[in-house]
Amino acid sequence: MMNNKDPKLLLQSAPLLRQELTTPAAMKDVWIALLPATAAALWFFGLSALLLLVTSIAGAVLTEWVFTDKDKRRFAISDTSAGLTGLLLGLTLPPGLPLWMAFLGGSVSIGLGKVIWGGLGTNLFNPALLGRAFLLGTFPIAMTTWGPAGGPGEFFQIHSSNFAWPLMQGQYDALSTATPLGLMKFEHETTALGSLFMGNTAGSIGETSSLFLLLGGLFLLLRRSIDWRIPAAIFLTASLFSLIMLLINGADSNFPSPLFTLFSGGLLLGTFFMATDPVTSPLTPRGCWIFGIGIGFLVVLIRLYGGLPEGMLYAILLMNAATPLIDRYTQPKIFGRKS
Amino acid sequence: MATDTSAYEEMIKGLWRDNPVFVQVLGMCPMLAVTNSAINAVVMGLATFFVLVGSSFLVSSFKQWIPKQVRISLYIIIIATFVTVVDYSLLALLPTIHKELGAFIPLIVANCMILGRQEAFASKHNVKYAVMDAVGMSAGFMIALFALGSVREILGVGAFFGIDLFGANFEPWVIMILPPGGFLTLGLLLLFFNWFTERRREFLLKVAESSRVAYVDGDK
């Protein structure tokens, strides 16, 4: 900036203040915050998890590259947002999913979730969740067949269903199990909070370990990369609402405790890494509270009364759709203006 | 009108340049509702073909006796007559497909493409041009229905006209035979169509520029 030596008059056009925060820098924070959860995914689900993550990232980045103008490609790829979308999508997939579906999901995430809206910053819905919603609607059986979490000894045991040919079904070798949320909904069984906290349960590869997700979320909060109001509102609303439902209905039914609600399923992953997506969440502080309360309420409502055991995906997507409206009605008034 | 364009051109424009689905985006109701298999799409296309050609012929023949104030209701009566014929013929000839198409056969009456052609074309042109236009438009409509129905059946069931394509291990794309799949496929087809049209226009412009020949074409 100041390379003119001792200028008598410095002429500059706005913006005169430059922020250090650029898109790649913001993305880097999220990558770092996702490292613990990714490590946990590899620990519990082995090479299958690694393959799924790599494939969905490849699908996302390739699609971004194909559908971006030639002269913008270098920037579009190097801000790493497409890769991040692929990683987030990969973390929400079940471990036994055929790889071609993961690739298709990454490609749909970017193609239908981002590029078609005009690229980064103009999309209405979170791209990774849109990709997951597409996969869930398209392959409902494959997307809800969960393998059990393994230990480090089983790291090299790959699900044979991962290697299904494109368009073909996966051949599942291991016995499929239910996720903690499925057990709660259909069998009325609770899972020990300890294993929910560590992540030693069935589920999507990146959602099981609450501890490592919390570590990543804490990092983002300390770095102020995400608005603290959204997670706060989601946690408060979800736990309060599930506590009320538990008190009304009694403990022996399929109404889980607040802690179970927070630590099971994709609630933590969705809260820290998807609901807080700066593009698809409200801009105003009051809007963030409304947004978070809406997600917290919807996720418990869908889990308790919906057809699926997990509701985080649709809770966030629904509130994404409401974001422009929230932004419009929570605009702060200009100082001095009447009503 | 129609001194500068031949009847053939009136027919050919409905196939691509003024395609009722991809360009005018008309007739979306049957387009999305009955295209979950190729055979349903083709039967719906044929039914629409019969109704549109028949009513264009009648409307164009009677145009000087149709009072302006009640023309829409008269068009609807003419269209409804042909729809009733199609409805009962399908019930007699192809009862299973008639059952699958269900309410969408009577709903051809409400197909905005058909009424649109009466109002915009058949009521202003003589019988020859009106029929040629109707043939082109409904053929274009059928092509679009067929494209949508094929994509949805191939991905959603793994078959084409009921013939199994991928064997028993095929993983069906459930969303494709559900309504969201219709919207998704239609959107992607529109995207592809517009992309192709754009590419062609750019190519023609480039050719015209490089050869320094004044570029005169029907394409706008």
For residue A192, give the CATH number of its domain: 1.10.3430
Q: What ipTM was reported for this prediction?
A: 0.82
- The whole-number pLDDT of residue B46 equals 94
Query: From the CA of B142, how many Å to the nearest CA of chain A?
Result: 27
Residue from B160, B171, B190 whose CB has the most chain A CBs within 10 Å, to mutate? B171
Residue A9 belongs to a domain: no
Chain A positions touching B170 (Cβ under 8 A) are 167-169
- The whole-number pLDDT of residue B2 equals 45
Cβ separation B171–A167 shorter than 8 A: yes
Cβ separation A168–B170 shorter than 8 A: yes
Provide the sign of the torsion angle of the four alpha carbons B86, B87, B92, B98, taken in this order.
positive
Cis peptide before A15 (omega within 30 of 0): yes
Tell me how long chain B is.
Answer: 220
CA distance A217 to A225: 10
Residue A338 belongs to a domain: no
Side chain identity, residue B67: P
- The whole-number pLDDT of residue A6 equals 64
Find the residue in A nearest to B184 (Cα): A112
User: Do A316 and A126 meet the contact criterion of CB atoms below 8 Å apart?
Assistant: yes
pLDDT tens digits, one per residue of B63-92: 999 999 999 999 999 999 999 999 999 999
User: Do B136 and B10 meet the contact criterion of CB atoms below 8 Å apart?
Assistant: yes
Helix, strand, or coil here: B170?
A: strand
Q: Which distant-in-sequence residues (6+ apart) come within 8 Å of B187 by Cβ?
A: none
Q: Which residue of B170, B178, B180 is in closest CB contact with A167?
A: B170
Q: Which residue of A98, A137, A169 is in closest CB contact with B175?
A: A137
Helix, strand, or coil here: A171?
A: coil
Q: Is the pLDDT confidence value at A175 over 80?
A: no
The share of chain B scoring above pLDDT 70, in percent, equals: 94
User: Do A202 and A147 meet the contact criterion of CB atoms below 8 Å apart?
Assistant: yes
- The whole-number pLDDT of residue B13 equals 87
Q: Chain B: which residues have CB within 8 Å of chain A? A: 158, 166, 169-171, 173-176, 178, 180, 184, 191
Q: What is the mean pLDDT of residues B139-164?
A: 92
Higher pLDDT, B194 or A8: B194
CA distance B5 to A72: 44
Report how far apart, in Å, the C-alpha atoms of A219 and of each of A226, A272, A339, B147 are: 10, 10, 40, 50
Q: What is the mean pLDDT of residues A45-53?
A: 92
What is residue B159's DSSP assignment?
E
Helix, strand, or coil here: B164?
A: strand
Confidence of residue A153 (pLDDT cuts 50, 70, 90): low
Cβ separation A168–B171 shorter than 8 A: yes
Cβ separation A167–B158 shorter than 8 A: yes
Find the residue in B nearest to A142 (Cα): B171
* Domain segments of chain B as ranges: 7-210
CA distance A31 to B18: 49
Chain B positions touching A131 (Cβ under 8 A) are none
pLDDT tens digits, one per residue of A25-41: 888 999 999 999 999 99
Q: Which residue of B170, B174, B191 is in closest CB contact with A138?
A: B174
* β partners of residue B159: B164
Q: Which residue of B174, B180, B191 is in closest CB contact with A140?
A: B174
Query: From the CA of A119, how many Å to the nearest CA of chain B?
Result: 16
Which of A146, A114, A166 is CA-nearest to residue A44? A146
Residue A336 belongs to a domain: no
User: Do A205 and A52 meet the contact criterion of CB atoms below 8 Å apart?
Assistant: yes
- The whole-number pLDDT of residue B56 equals 95
Residue whose structure tokens are 């605009």: A331
DSSP per residue over A93-105, as a string?
S-TT--HHHHHHH
Chain A positions touching B184 (Cβ under 8 A) are 112
Residue A10 belongs to a domain: no
Cβ separation B171–A169 shorter than 8 A: yes
pLDDT tens digits, one per residue of A247-280: 988 766 678 888 999 998 899 999 999 999 989 9
User: Do B42 and B145 meet the contact criterion of CB atoms below 8 Å apart?
Assistant: yes
Find the residue in A nearest to B188 (Cα): A112
DSSP per residue over B133-193, as a string?
HHHHHHHHHHHHHHHHHHHHHHHHTSEETTEE-S-TTB---HHHHSHHHHHHHHHHHHHHH
- List the domain range (segments joined by +) for residue A184: 23-328
Q: Is the pLDDT confidence value at B182 over 50?
A: yes
User: Do A62 and A82 meet the contact criterion of CB atoms below 8 Å apart?
Assistant: no
Find the residue in B nearest to A100 (Cα): B171
Higher pLDDT, B43 or A188: B43
Query: From the CA of A302, how many Å to the nearest CA of chain B?
Result: 21
Q: Which residue of B158, B169, B175 is in closest CB contact with A138?
A: B175
Q: Is the pLDDT confidence value at B103 over 80?
A: yes
